[in-house]
Amino acid sequence: MKVKGVNLGNWLVLEKWMNPALFEGTTAEDEYYLPRQLSREAYEARIQIHRSEYISERDFVTIKAMGMEAVRIPVPYFIFGDREPFIGCVKELDKAFNWAERYGLKILIDLHTAPMGQNGFDNGGICGVCKWSKCPEEVEFVLSVLERLAQRYGCREGLWGIEVLNEPITEHAWNQINVPERYPAVDKDMAEGSGPNTMEFIRDFYCRAYDRLRKFLPKDKYVVIHDGFELLAWKDFMQEEKYVNVVLDTHQYLMMAESDGCQHNLASYLAYVKENYEKNIEEMQKYFPVICGEWCLFNSLACGCDTKGGQSVLNGVEGSEKEKMPAEEKKEIYRALAKAQLEAWDKGSGYFYWSYKLLTDTVNDKGWIGWDSWDLGRCADFGWFPAEGR
């Protein structure tokens, strides 16, 4: 089993940095506060227009033409429309399945958010709040969402698998990223008691989720679990015979390598990819099929400044106002990084690039130089992403 795919980020789960215009007229930094700062009518109109325009049938044609085989679709916990004030998006996912099946693509449904937060990130739905695992009723709610997803899509030809939960954070990553400072909470009372999930909780949750999913999910469809930013910690997990077609997902970004002390030069990046990504994926592939469910070419060297672990102008970090290196040199850097990372993922069972598109103006808006490498369409068009990777 090998998969080559791309994430449809910022479609059904919003991320402000990927499309700042969606948040105009508000001070909201995440999806939790957007509907709370707009009138119901304005929020509904904005979301419905965004969902219908951001991804359409045409994009599935393009993704197939790129040589991709699958899409990972982040979905929110309110997908079924049962959590006010949010608007459900199951109709959009229904359409995505029809498009995928028409054009021969597979879908990995990725439950990307949990109520009260599983990581405290903006992409977890609410900044600075991470207490979902401490709320038994919300844990049960997430299990019910997974069960309903399996019931609705389990037998669809286009389904590749279901990812139990995106990036539930553990202690090391919580401290490395310094979540409370990087993603400050709006409501301090709500954030009170936030902290990393324990590995014991995550393991127990994954086992419960597997049982709930398999009620409706045929054995040939994959159940995907995220490594909680601890790739090597899962060797003794789900090795029993009852666990079938479980895939381990790891997210590896060069900006995290930088946070880990990797120097901002090509030789250091390439060495880091070889000594960490490649080696660790090869090791874990003995226990699970391992996919890199999120990665990209983004790095501080090509941005021309220290992005402080991928923090943008929206985080108050000053970016470069003009290109610091010639286009050809930039291309060589990106191509070398693409080749090295693709070789690393090849030691496992494949990858999903983050992300398919980005609605950030990297030319006219100050500070966004270098951020276009998050956009696979641009990477392919500029020749940064090698044809053999597709």
How far is 143 from 165, CA to CA, in rounded Å? Answer: 10
Q: What's CA 267's distance to the chain center, in Å?
A: 27
Average pLDDT value for residue range 145-157: 98
Write the DSSP symbol of residue 23: G
For residue 140, the model assigns a pLDDT of 98
Within 154-198, where are the H helices? Answer: 171-177, 179-182, 188-191
Kindly list the distances between the CA atom of residue 106 and the CA atoms of 51, 97, 109, 178, 222, in Å, as whole numbers in the listed order. 20, 8, 10, 36, 12
For residue 303, the model assigns a pLDDT of 95
Average pLDDT value for residue range 110-129: 97
Tell me how crowded residue 109 is: count the other CB atoms within 10 A of its CB: 25
pLDDT (tens digit, 9 = 90+) per residue, 315-334?
888 999 889 899 999 999 99
> Does 1 have pLDDT greater than 90?
no
Segments of the chain assigned E as strands: 3-7, 70-75, 106-111, 159-163, 222-226, 246-251, 290-294, 350-353
351 contacts 4 by C-beta, under 8 angstroms: yes
Phi, psi of 282 (to 5 degrees): -60, -40
Residue type at 189 in one-letter notation:
D
For residue 189, the model assigns a pLDDT of 96
How far is 349 from 329, CA to CA, in rounded Å? Answer: 31
> Does 387 have pLDDT greater than 90?
no
Task: Render 267-322 in DSSP notation, one character per residue.
Answer: HHHHHHIIIIIIHHHHHHTTTS-EEEEE--S--HHHHTS--TTT--GGGT----SS
For residue 245, the model assigns a pLDDT of 98
Local confidence band at 390 (pLDDT 50, 70, 90 cut-offs): low
> Does 167 have pLDDT greater than 80?
yes
Tokens of 42: 């304005």
What are the chain's domains?
3-389 (3.20.20.80)
Average pLDDT value for residue range 338-347: 98
> Does 389 have pLDDT greater than 80?
no
How far is 13 from 35, CA to CA, in rounded Å? Answer: 13
Helix (H) / strand (E) containing 143: helix 136-153
How far is 330 from 112, CA to CA, in rounded Å? Answer: 32
SS3 146: helix
Work out the mean pLDDT of the chain and round it to a whole number. Answer: 96
SS3 263: coil
Burial class (CB in 10 A: 0-12, 13-18, 19+), 332: middle
Local confidence band at 388 (pLDDT 50, 70, 90 cut-offs): low
Beta-bridge partner residues of 74: 110
122 contacts 184 by C-beta, under 8 angstroms: no
274 contacts 343 by C-beta, under 8 angstroms: no
> Does 313 have pLDDT greater than 90?
no
Which percentage of the chain shows pLDDT scores above 70? 99
How far is 389 from 92, CA to CA, in rounded Å? Answer: 29
